[in-house]
Amino acid sequence: QVTLAESGGGSVQAGGSLILSCAASGVRSAPECLAWFRQAPGKEREGVASKNIYGATDYGNSVKGRFTVSHSDSKNTLFLQMNDLKFEDTGIYYCATGTGAPHCNLGNERFYGTWGQGTQVTVSP
């Protein structure tokens, strides 16, 4: 079974950058859907960025132009490059994989069946 492990979280000042990684183990086939989600204290979990096997990417409205999602097939690793970080970006970031492309967009969590444990991102104002 596929297991996901996020890393790269930490504390950063507003305006700074971080790169999150999501390493997958037990991979036997190319994933259809890959995504990053986040949850801030007292708020609902929201989609951040996604990428499917057709090459299509999608981003949450609040991170468009600042975040970039990418995937390394050879390393079985999903990345999230986060630039110009803001205080409101603070939260626990989760990576996930699933099936159902091209319908596995950020608003359809039901398509994502495998999740990582999460990594904390804290942005100071």
Instruction: For 13-64, write each residue's pLDDT tens digit.
Output: 999 999 999 999 999 888 999 999 999 999 999 999 999 999 999 999 999 9
Kindly state the tokens that stand for 92: 């626990």
107 pLDDT higher than 80? no
106 pLDDT higher than 90? no
Q: What is the per-residue pLDDT for 51?
A: 95
Measured CA distances, 23 to 19, 48, 64, 92, 114 (Å): 13, 18, 24, 17, 13
Mean predicted lDDT score pLDDT of the chain: 95
